[in-house]
Amino acid sequence: MKAYSIDLREKIVKAYEQGDTSIRKVASRFGVAKSFVQKLVFSKKSQGHVAPKQQGGARKSKLDGSAAQLVAMVEKYPDATLLEYCEYWGTTYNDWVSTSTMCWALQKQKLPLKKRPEAERLRLRNT
């Protein structure tokens, strides 16, 4: 949802500051929530403006900035599963992550996720 325009925000605050009306009446008049009017009035008093705050933003992963370690891990254990990678990461770096976090980080680094079937892995280990 897009933020309300600064013009509308200023009109709402101005209508409330003019006096003899309540926050509920102002909210009803402009078709917005009472809490929105309260936040605008508080923002105007405390910050001096009613500009909207930045919405959203990129979330950082625990594994951001660990590209070299991820590459080394995959080279060392090319047939490990995501769960095994998570266990390795937790014991080696004392930073436990979920399988989805590990999968996302590996995909971001364009590292392979396809593993050999378990039977073939066991056969290769025993030879």
Q: Are residues 79 and 110 in the same domain?
A: yes
The model's pLDDT over 95-122, given as tens digits with 9 standing for 90+, comes to: 899 999 999 999 988 888 766 666 565 6
**Contacts of residue 17, Cβ cutoff 8 Å, sequence gap at least 6:** 41, 44
* Burial degree of 121 (CB within 10 A; 0-12, 13-18, 19+): middle
Is residue 59 a part of any domain in this protein? Answer: no
Is residue 36 a part of any domain in this protein? Answer: yes
Is residue 78 a part of any domain in this protein? Answer: yes
Q: Are residues 43 and 71 in the same domain?
A: no
Is residue 54 a part of any domain in this protein? Answer: no
| Long-range contacts, 111-120 (Cβ 8 Å, 24+) | 111/70, 111/71, 111/74, 112/74, 112/78, 113/82, 115/79, 115/80, 115/81, 116/79
Confidence of residue 65 (pLDDT cuts 50, 70, 90): confident
| CA-CA-CA-CA dihedral for 85, 89, 95, 97, to nearest 10 | -10
Is residue 100 a part of any domain in this protein? Answer: yes
Tally the domains of the chain: 2
The model's pLDDT over 10-51, given as tens digits with 9 standing for 90+, comes to: 999 999 998 788 999 999 999 999 999 999 999 999 999 999
Domain that residue 96 falls in: 67-114
